[in-house]
Structure 1
Amino acid sequence: MKHAVRSLFALSVMALLLISLSACQDSTPAALNINDLRSDPGAFTGTLTVTGILGAYSQHDPQIFGIMDKSELQCTSPNCNKFYLPVRFAGPTPAYGDEVVITGSFMPGSSLFAATELKVIRNHNL
């Protein structure tokens, strides 16, 4: 009888631990890097989360800026072929060099990423 009670108690504790762990897990998918999108941005549909570093501003529209892959920080020569993903965001524009995580989707028929959420992680001195 004692053995059955101990087994039941052990199973109950394990079940509670599993439930606790599953409740604590973040169900948010990992953010894509800019280089993940570089070859074919049109292949990505639906809502995406992307991380990058603000490296350019549009001269024609203050709501559009370009973000580059974090790996581009390693390239310091003028011959770097950096890819900037154009992003439209209606909120406050982040600063040059800000590492951002953005959520949104590509505008239909375009490589322009329409961000609905933007979070600044940190600033890199570019």
Structure 2
Amino acid sequence: MAEARVGVKVSDDRQTVTIEIGSTAGPSHPVGLDLKQLTKVIQLLGEARSRMVEGSRKLPLDGKTVETVIEPPWYVQVASIDGSLLAFDHPSYGPLGFALPRQDVVRIVRILNEHLALPAGHPDKPS
């Protein structure tokens, strides 16, 4: 596969973005997108990534660096899978939802209860 270069530039008014993808050996053609179109491209790329990792072993996130979003809009409800639905609006990826099985909900609630048992502003996290 040829080496590629990728460029993204948000317009000064933040209403559009210009994306340029091309081979390092040849010219590329910029494409302008509005927010709705960009969100669709992100969704399609996410679906492609999902297909690429399908069947791969899921590695734990413990100890990994992840992009952290402070105070995103969120929503939680009982899910039809004997668990819960947790959704939030990620500024980079848009709305994301997770169906969590009951055993994961139990673990999350236990950890959050341990957190709430600590004095407010306590710097240590529960183990």
- Taking structure 1 as the reference length, what is the TM-score of the superposition? 0.23
Instruction: Name which one, 1 or 2, has greater alpha-carbon Rg.
Output: 1
Structure with greater contact order relative to length (CA < 8 Å, sep ≥ 6): 1
Per the normalisation by structure 2, the TM-score is: 0.23
